[in-house]
Amino acid sequence: MTAGKTIVGSWAKALRWAGVMGAAAVLAACGGGGGGSAAANGTLRVALTDAPSCGYDHVFVTVEKVRVHQSGSAGDSEGGWSEVAVSPARRIDLLDLTNGVLEELGTTQLAAGHYSQIRLVLASNTGTGTSSVANAVQPTGGALIPLNTPSGQQSGLKLQAHFDVAEGQTTDILLDFDACKSIVKAGNSGNKYNLKPVLSVVPRVNTGIQGFVTTTLSLSSTTIAAQQDGVTIRSTAPDTTGKFSIPFLSTGTYTLVVMSDGRANAVVTGVPVGTSTTVVSGTSTAIVPPVSSMADVTGTVTLTSVSGGGTTTAPLTDATVRALQTLTGGPTIELGNQAVDGDLGTYRFRLPVAAPVKAAFVTGSPLSFTTDSAVAGKYTMRAQAPGRAAQDKPADITSGSVNVDFNYGP
């Protein structure tokens, strides 16, 4: 494991911070949170984590600093910012940060109080060669390709956050960088990818869900997601032993969804998370989704507009599409969520034809799965775009791959 990374889980050893404190350069920006007396300050500690990324061998981002402000609407040139400076800038492979692995970014002293905005500042792609490109992606089996990054990245990727820093105490937060949703292919050339960052700020709590899936799965294509109301809260990929950990979950009840290429979906309902980690399966009771053929759901999201008495249809490139499946008696589960192609407005999902299996979680009892034959191969595709109503369309792949298009317009 590389320096600065920490495995988090109930089996992990206590975190050691001395090395992180010494390695991270810490400063308060002019007018920042360090302006009060030492007694009125608290400490903010920041780490980076990631959900599994689909279809990539590496996703590199280079972090220069993290900025925080008490106002959620503060501009980048306003006073009141404080910073965690990462010096020298650190090039991080996001795909190393799954299954509870963290990249420690550092700490800073802040005035005690409530904070509402965080900005993650990335370096620019100015060098040449695969090792010097700050931000890059490597599709599975392909070459490393520079990422086109947002024009506003010099002021930081803006995140709304709500956390309190208490006097004399340390507040731990995680920046959860969802690489799968953040990398957007653009065009048919295969050499253009945009970084459209999807990040969230989550508390660093010692709670979560653990378990095992069978190692007979294609582990590199396997994702385990903790969901609520058909929305993925956090997800991970298993290690080579089939072990998975989804940490940092808030107290509540979750649906666990196991997805893997060549397998039906396996769903565990009613998984509770309280003040510790919930174990759903062990090595002898590993989850084994049934074998399934796969089929594609593809399509394009377009926008039709009226101009000069005629109509024009063009790709709606800021849209996203979700693949959903509603089980008999519930719940609805999410099998994927992706931005459409940045040039073409197209999308593609590879989904199982066979029926999903479902088990209810019971503490202390092995999972008992039953087959939900009524919904085999039946999905709902949901298109969404900023400022526009969501559109749902059915997708039935029981007879093979299908095309489902969406159009917004008059």
Structure confidence by residue, pLDDT tens digits, 117-175: 999 888 888 765 545 688 898 988 888 888 888 765 667 788 878 899 999 999 998 88
DSSP-assigned letters across all residues of 80-117: --EEEEEEEEEEEEGGGS-TTEEEEEEEEEEESEEEEE
The CATH topology of domain 206-410 is Immunoglobulin-like (2.60.40)
Give residue limits of the domains in the chain.
Answer: 5-203, 206-410
Match 């007694």 to its residue by tokens.
39
pLDDT over threshold 70, residue 36 = no
CB count in 10 Å sphere of residue 189: 8
**pLDDT computed for residue 154 by the predictor:** 64
- Domain 5-203 maps to which CATH number in 1.50.40.10, 3.10.180.10, 2.60.40.1120, 3.40.50.1000? 2.60.40.1120
Structure confidence by residue, pLDDT tens digits, 181-219: 888 888 877 788 888 888 888 888 889 999 999 999 998
Q: Give the integer Cα–Cα distance in Å for 54 and 181.
A: 9
**pLDDT computed for residue 10 by the predictor:** 35
**pLDDT computed for residue 4 by the predictor:** 44
Of the candidates 214, 231, 183, which has an alpha carbon nearest to the alpha carbon of residue 281?
214
SS3 content of the chain, % helix, strand, coil (to 5): 5, 55, 40
For the record, the structure tokens of 243 come out as: 């072990």
| Matching fold, domains 5-203 and 206-410 | yes
Greater pLDDT, 152 or 45? 45
pLDDT over threshold 90, residue 251 = yes
Greater pLDDT, 122 or 11? 122
Structure confidence by residue, pLDDT tens digits, 191-201: 888 888 888 88
Q: Give the integer Cα–Cα distance in Å for 320 and 317.
A: 8
Q: Give the integer Cα–Cα distance in Å for 42 and 169.
A: 5
